[in-house]
Amino acid sequence: MTAIAASIDQVRSRIATAAREAGRDPAEVQLLLAVKRVEAARIREAFDAGATLIGQNRAQELVATEPDLVDVPHETHVIGHLQSNKVNQVMRWANCVQSVDSSKLAERLDRAAAARERDLDVFIQVNTSGEETKSGVPPEQAGELAAVVGSLPHLHLRGLMTIGANSPDPGEVRASYTALAHARDAVVSSADPGTGEARELSMGMSGDLEIAIAAGATMVRVGTGVFGSRNT
């Protein structure tokens, strides 16, 4: 067993334990591998270990890496901030964009999807910690943006995404994830067209996935916990 395969097993075990402790079915929580600065050969090792879902932070890395992975069935999400001028670059390869944080970006994605005669899954990114260094709309604006996304014919709103609070206090981290769950509940119950299926919560990373799962995460994004420290 390779080191990457062993790390994936360890992370899956953590997910299963956290889910059971929260009274949840481990099958409710997907593992997304964050592959920022990870070369294609190492991503293929993860695929060999059964991984099928990866997340790219940067458009240029996605475009550079995906051609070397086309022979392996997998799903690729954009999980980093996406500039409008990069939309056409990622549209060819991305199955989902998790970092929709404005109506401008949503409308740009919808037009690009229409041009390719396809639909695109998306998440709305919410800044639940209020930290200025993080992208995303404030929780109180998530419903408004969800209504816009839900009205766009080529976008399918799957749920909400956040990056947890950068804090050593587990309570503060948990609060940032609970806030996303509350925002999701408000979106789903809003009765706005296109929002009723937005039930997914993409939250939690290598260091705090247990807290996120306890708060309701349906997808955790793990990078260093599988691939080790990123190369600079």
Which pLDDT score is estimated for 136?
A: 96
pLDDT tens-digit readout, 103-146: 999 999 999 999 999 999 999 999 999 998 999 999 999 999 99
Which residues, in sequence order, are CB contacts of 10 under 8 Å at separation 6+? 225
According to DSSP, the β-strands at 53-56 and 30-34 are parallel
Question: Under DSSP, is residue 133 helix (H, G, I), strand (E, B) or coil?
Answer: coil
d(CA 230, CA 19) in angstroms, rounded, equals 28
Question: What's the topology of domain 3-225?
Answer: TIM Barrel (3.20.20)
- Rounded to two decimals, the pTM is 0.95
pLDDT of residue 1: 83
* pLDDT digits 0-9 by tens, 164-192: 999 999 999 999 999 999 999 999 999 99
What is the spatial distance between Cα 74 and Cα 135, in angstroms, rounded to a whole number? 27
The domain spans of the chain are 3-225
Alpha-carbon distance values, 168 to 164, 173, 174 (Å): 11, 8, 11
Structure tokens at 141: 């604006």
CA dist 224 → 4, 49, 171 (Å): 11, 16, 23
User: Cα separations (Å) of 137 from 64, 127, 134, 161, 163?
Assistant: 29, 6, 10, 10, 12
Where does 73-225 show beta strands of DSSP type E? Answer: 75-78, 96-100, 120-125, 155-161, 200-202, 219-222
Mean pLDDT of 14-28: 98
Is residue 185 within 8 A of residue 126, CB to CB? The reply is no
Per-residue pLDDT tens for 47-75?
A: 999 999 999 999 999 999 999 999 999 99
Identify the burial level of 103 via C-beta atoms within 10 angstroms of its C-beta, where 0-12 means exposed, 13-18 middle and 19 or more buried.
middle
